[in-house]
């Protein structure tokens, strides 16, 4: 096996010289990935391509998911922003929140703007201690909560997150080659966090950035629409199941989370691929389903989404029902 | 409903059945489209072919034509959950999960946005929107845009498709003439801009095709 020997020789060189073989990657979190943590709290200029803060109460506090892969080592943030506000600055932070508990999120890195200028800015933030190792026990996101955007003199163009991925399986770099010859991992996962949900038709909702959790709310006491989040999987992928961290402290209400698809070319009733529900009122719940109908993703016939619906009645108050994270397992095409 | 017309094996390897095959072959003059046709020719071919077809044949027809011209396409569907209103939470829109489409029935029209993420070096080959627009006052407009993130430059339109006039039927709008089609994540961020009529309309789907 000359190829295997060559690879092992390369690996031993890396080990011998104390270097870890790494592949550099960049996650681009564009302006269009950001939104406010409350309704009507942001202004996205869809021609210019930037997002700013709205001058509403609580507006300007923007968030965006940062779907970093498990075992990535985050090295640097590059904040691409605009600040021409004479009196105020704003701050962007990378945070992580462990799933399934109420311990507040940790800030991993961040930086503030300073002063006013009409020029586009680029602020580099190097993570301490050689970088941060990503774990899928957490959800990762960007937040401006520490110092929110104040109107449209504050703008985000993008945040670029530089990270490296280990080229080899666990422990390979340390000389443990027991994983050599193991088949490649076939089950991938797609993350959706509470940060990604929203409600429609003017319904109230809140994203709690300290817990990365979306709270369903109903201030009107009439049937609430279901909250909605993205689901964009590769064409031809096969969905294996979902794992959801949900919150429920209402004995007479539950929250049902469904993965659905709808036919694009006709008005056929949408189909549920799989769903989970909370039960009881014991706070955080890990709900899972690995029974999936119509599991193969067909992106030019259907569009797909996740929805979170209140069941058992209409009225619910903030912090009674919530979604923190949804992990969708799939096999690539 | 599946037609009894036998499937036709094309030179590109696609099998098209029934009304799809008949209308497509008629639209193309009895042959698969020539490889190397320009994007604007492709736009016209697809427009002509789709006009003859029922909605359930649109997706396979677009796939067939793209494969004949450009190789096997990747397909990215924009999730309805990805769309955010430009300055509110799609406030005047409804998305009943029992219907699976955005309904515009009064209030404001306005524009929404959604992020797009493609692999570095991919080439965007098409934009497809499926909708009902039964109001003469305004039309749907969807655009794929790229923003050079390190600058104050305005974003650039890569592709656009629009509705026109009023009809209660399901319709499709496509654009296969893509500017700046090569994805360069090192300089740009990509997004969809969607502006909708404020009345009498339904957005049923949005997808992009690409090659690696």
Q: Beta-carbon neighbour count of residue A185 at 10 Å?
A: 7
Whether B1 is covered by a domain: the verdict is no
Residue A71 backbone dihedrals phi, psi, to 5 degrees: 75, 5
Is there a contact between B93 and A200 if contact means CB atoms under 8 Å apart? yes
Domain hosting residue B185, numbered range: 74-211
Q: What's residue A172's pLDDT?
A: 55
Q: What's residue A182's pLDDT?
A: 58
Q: What's residue B5's pLDDT?
A: 36
Q: Beta-carbon neighbour count of residue A130 at 10 Å?
A: 9
- How many Å lie between the alpha carbon of B18 and the closest alpha carbon of chain A? 17
Minimal Cβ distance to B113: which of A44, A263, A267:
A44
Mean pLDDT, range A118-144, rounded to an integer: 95
Q: For residues B169 and B100, state if they share a domain.
A: yes
Q: For residues B121 and B187, state if they share a domain.
A: yes
Mean pLDDT, range A66-77, rounded to an integer: 94
CA-nearest residue of chain B to A45?
Answer: B86
Architecture of domain A188-331: Sandwich (2.60)
Whether B25 is covered by a domain: the verdict is yes
- Whether B88 has a pLDDT exceeding 80, the answer reads no
Whether B23 is covered by a domain: the verdict is yes
Q: For residues B155 and B188, state if they share a domain.
A: yes
At the fourth CATH level, the homologous superfamily of domain A21-166 is Galactose-binding domain-like (2.60.120.260)
Q: For residues B44 and B92, state if they share a domain.
A: no
- How many Å lie between the alpha carbon of B33 and the closest alpha carbon of chain A? 21
Q: What's residue A205's pLDDT?
A: 84
Q: Is A208 helix (H, G, I), strand (E, B) or coil?
A: strand
Taking only Cα atoms into account, the Rg of chain A, rounded to an integer number of angstroms, comes to 22
Buried b (16+ CB within 10 A) or exposed e, B162-188: ebeeeeeebbbbbbbbbebbebebeeb
Longest dimension (CA), chain A: 70
- Whether B30 has a pLDDT exceeding 50, the answer reads no
Q: What's residue A183's pLDDT?
A: 54
Query: Which of B70, B91, B110 delimits the end of a domain?
Result: B70
Q: For residues B129 and B205, state if they share a domain.
A: yes
Q: What's residue A47's pLDDT?
A: 94
Whether B3 is covered by a domain: the verdict is no
CA-nearest residue of chain A to B57?
Answer: A265
Alpha-carbon distance A241 to A276, whole Å? 10
| Dihedral-angle region of residue B4 (phi above 0 means left; psi in -120 to 50 means alpha; beta otherwise) | alpha
Q: For residues B48 and B101, state if they share a domain.
A: no
Q: Residue B204 — pLDDT band, cuts 50, 70, 90?
A: very high
Chain A within 8 Å of B105 (Cβ-Cβ)? no
**Could you tell me which residues come within 8 angstroms of residue B162 by beta carbon, excluding any fewer than 6 positions away?**
B139, B140, B141, B142, B173
| pLDDT higher at A107 or A312 | A107
- How many Å lie between the alpha carbon of B30 and the closest alpha carbon of chain A? 25
**Could you tell me which residues come within 8 angstroms of residue B208 by beta carbon, excluding any fewer than 6 positions away?**
B75, B76, B78, B116, B124, B126, B127, B128, B144
Chain A within 8 Å of B130 (Cβ-Cβ)? yes
Q: Residue A176 — pLDDT band, cuts 50, 70, 90?
A: low
Q: What's residue A171's pLDDT?
A: 55
CA-nearest residue of chain A to B60?
Answer: A300
Mean pLDDT, range A234-241, rounded to an integer: 94
- Whether B72 has a pLDDT exceeding 90, the answer reads no
The residue among B1, B149, B155, B209 with the most chain A CBs within 10 A of its CB, best to mutate, is: B149
Taking only Cα atoms into account, the Rg of chain B, rounded to an integer number of angstroms, comes to 18
Alpha-carbon distance B105 to B90, whole Å? 13
Q: What's residue A134's pLDDT?
A: 95
Is there a contact between B92 and A202 if contact means CB atoms under 8 Å apart? yes
Q: Beta-carbon neighbour count of residue A222 at 10 Å?
A: 7
**Could you tell me which residues come within 8 angstroms of residue B75 by beta carbon, excluding any fewer than 6 positions away?**
A235, A299, A300, B63, B207, B208, B209, B210
Q: What's residue B75's pLDDT?
A: 94
Query: Which of B21, B37, B70 delimits the end of a domain?
Result: B70
Q: What's residue A22's pLDDT?
A: 55
Alpha-carbon distance A72 to A267, whole Å? 42
Alpha-carbon distance B72 to B86, whole Å? 34
Alpha-carbon distance A194 to A245, whole Å? 9
Whether B173 is covered by a domain: the verdict is yes
Chain B within 8 Å of A294 (Cβ-Cβ)? no
Scan for tokens 């009196």, then name that residue. Answer: A87
Chain B within 8 Å of A60 (Cβ-Cβ)? no
DSSP A183: P
Chain B within 8 Å of A220 (Cβ-Cβ)? no
- Whether B22 has a pLDDT exceeding 50, the answer reads no
- Whether B31 has a pLDDT exceeding 90, the answer reads no
Q: What's residue A174's pLDDT?
A: 58
Q: For residues B42 and B79, state if they share a domain.
A: no
Q: Is A267 helix (H, G, I), strand (E, B) or coil?
A: coil
Is there a contact between A49 and B147 if contact means CB atoms under 8 Å apart? yes
Is there a contact between A262 and B205 if contact means CB atoms under 8 Å apart? yes
What is the percentage of chain A residues whose pLDDT exceeds 90? 72
Half-sphere exposure of A299 (CA within 13 A, CB side): 24
User: B117: which chain A residues are within 8 Å (Cβ-Cβ)?
Assistant: 28
Q: For residues B14 and B78, state if they share a domain.
A: no
Which range, of A141-150, A162-171, B4-13, B154-163, averages the lowest pLDDT?
Answer: B4-13
- Whether B7 has a pLDDT exceeding 80, the answer reads no
Q: For residues B39 and B91, state if they share a domain.
A: no
Say if strands B188-195 and B141-148 run parallel, antiparallel, or are unpaired. antiparallel
Is there a contact between A39 and B88 if contact means CB atoms under 8 Å apart? yes
Q: Residue B43 — pLDDT band, cuts 50, 70, 90?
A: confident
Q: What's residue A235's pLDDT?
A: 94
Q: Residue A318 — pLDDT band, cuts 50, 70, 90?
A: confident
Task: List the one residue out of A109, A143, A145 whose CA is nearest residue A124.
Answer: A109
Scan for tokens 């056929």, then name that residue. Answer: A268
Whether B2 is covered by a domain: the verdict is no
Mean pLDDT, range A99-119, rounded to an integer: 96
Is there a contact between B128 and A300 if contact means CB atoms under 8 Å apart? yes
Q: For residues B61 and B114, state if they share a domain.
A: no
Q: What's residue A14's pLDDT?
A: 39
Whether B52 is covered by a domain: the verdict is yes
Q: What is chain B's length?
A: 212
| pLDDT higher at A48 or B47 | A48
- Whether B106 has a pLDDT exceeding 70, the answer reads no
Highest mean predicted confidence (pLDDT) among A112-116, A223-227, B133-137: A112-116
CB B20 within 8 A of CB B63: no
Q: What is the Cα A283 distance to its own chain's centre?
A: 22
Q: What's residue A179's pLDDT?
A: 58
Alpha-carbon distance A191 to A323, whole Å? 12
Alpha-carbon distance A53 to A148, whole Å? 8
Chain B within 8 Å of A227 (Cβ-Cβ)? no
CB A267 within 8 A of CB B103: no
Q: What angle do CA B148, B154, B159 make, to 5 degrees?
A: 80
CB A54 within 8 A of CB A43: yes
Q: Residue A282 — pLDDT band, cuts 50, 70, 90?
A: very high
What is the percentage of chain B residues whose pLDDT exceeds 90? 49
Mean pLDDT, range B108-114, rounded to an integer: 81
Domain with CATH 2.60.120.260 in chain A: 21-166, 188-331
CATH number at residue B130: 2.60.120.430
Residue A245 backbone dihedrals phi, psi, to 5 degrees: -95, 110
- Whether A264 has a pLDDT exceeding 90, the answer reads yes
Is there a contact between A157 and B149 if contact means CB atoms under 8 Å apart? yes
- Whether B119 has a pLDDT exceeding 70, the answer reads yes
Alpha-carbon distance A14 to A173, whole Å? 8
CA-nearest residue of chain A to B173?
Answer: A265
Per the structure, the count of domains in chain B is 2
Mean pLDDT, range A122-138, rounded to an integer: 94
pLDDT digits (tens, 9 = 90+) for A244-255: 999 999 999 999
Q: For residues B145 and B159, state if they share a domain.
A: yes
Q: Which residues pair with A91 in a beta bridge?
A: A112
Q: For residues B66 and B82, state if they share a domain.
A: no
Query: Which of B70, B89, B113 delimits the end of a domain?
Result: B70
What is the percentage of chain A residues whose pLDDT exceeds 70? 86
Minimal Cβ distance to B170: which of A32, A265, A270:
A265
ipTM attached to this prediction: 0.89
Q: What's residue B85's pLDDT?
A: 85
Chain A within 8 Å of B63 (Cβ-Cβ)? yes
């Amino acid at each position: 096996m000359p190829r295997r020997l060559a690879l092992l020789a390369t690996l031993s060189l890396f080990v011998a010289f104390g270097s870890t073989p790494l592949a550099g990657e960049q996650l681009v979190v564009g302006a269009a990935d950001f939104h406010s943590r409350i309704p009507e709290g942001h202004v996205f200029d869809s021609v210019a391509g930037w997002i700013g803060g709205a001058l509403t109460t609580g507006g300007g506090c923007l968030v965006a998911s940062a779907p970093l892969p498990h075992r990535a080592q985050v090295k640097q943030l590059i904040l691409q922003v605009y600040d021409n506000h004479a009196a105020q600055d704003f701050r962007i932070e990378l945070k992580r929140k462990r799933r399934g508990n109420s311990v507040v999120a940790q800030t991993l890195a961040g930086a503030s703007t300073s002063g006013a200028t009409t020029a586009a800015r680029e602020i580099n933030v190097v993570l301490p201690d050689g970088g941060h190792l990503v774990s899928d026990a957490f959800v990762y996101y960007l937040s401006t909560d520490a110092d929110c955007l104040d109107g449209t003199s504050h703008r985000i163009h993008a945040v670029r997150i530089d990270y490296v991925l280990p080229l080899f399986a666990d422990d390979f770099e340390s000389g443990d080659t027991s994983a050599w010859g193991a088949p490649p991992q076939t089950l991938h996962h797609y993350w959706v966090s509470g940060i990604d949900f929203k409600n429609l038709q003017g319904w109230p909702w809140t994203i709690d950035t300290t817990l990365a959790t979306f709270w369903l709310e109903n201030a009107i006491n009439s049937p609430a629409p279901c909250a909605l989040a993205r689901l964009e999987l590769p064409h031809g992928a096969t969905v294996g199941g979902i794992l959801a961290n949900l919150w429920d402290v209402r004995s007479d209400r539950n929250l049902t989370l469904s993965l659905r698809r709808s036919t694009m070319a006709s008005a056929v009733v949408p189909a549920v691929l799989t769903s989970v529900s909370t039960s009881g009122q014991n706070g955080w719940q890990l709900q899972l389903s690995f029974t999936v109908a119509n599991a193969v993703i067909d992106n030019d016939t259907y569009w797909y989404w996740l929805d979170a619906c209140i069941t058992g009645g209409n009225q619910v108050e903030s912090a009674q029902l919530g979604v923190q994270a949804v992990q969708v397992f799939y096999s690539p095409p | 409903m599946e037609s009894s017309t036998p499937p036709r094996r094309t030179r590109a390897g696609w099998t098209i059945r029934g009304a799809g095959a008949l209308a497509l072959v008629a639209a193309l003059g009895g042959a698969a489209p020539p490889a190397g046709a320009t994007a604007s020719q492709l736009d016209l071919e697809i427009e002509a072919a789709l006009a003859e077809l029922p909605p359930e044949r649109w997706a396979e027809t677009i796939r067939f034509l793209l494969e004949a011209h450009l190789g096997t396409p990747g397909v990215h569907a924009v999730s309805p959950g990805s769309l955010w209103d430009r300055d509110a939470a799609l406030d005047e829109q409804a998305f009943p999960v029992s219907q699976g489409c955005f309904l515009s029935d009064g209030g404001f029209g306005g524009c929404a946005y959604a992020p797009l993420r493609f692999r570095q070096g991919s080439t965007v080959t098409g934009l497809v929107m499926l909708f009902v627009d039964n109001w003469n006052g305004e039309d749907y407009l969807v655009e794929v845009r790229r923003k050079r993130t390190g600058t104050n430059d305005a974003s650039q339109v890569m592709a656009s498709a629009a509705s026109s006039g009023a009809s209660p039927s399901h319709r499709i709008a496509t654009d296969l003439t893509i500017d700046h089609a090569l994805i360069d994540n090192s300089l740009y961020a990509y997004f969809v801009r969607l502006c909708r009529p404020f009345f009498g309309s339904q957005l049923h789907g949005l997808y992009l095709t690409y090659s690696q």
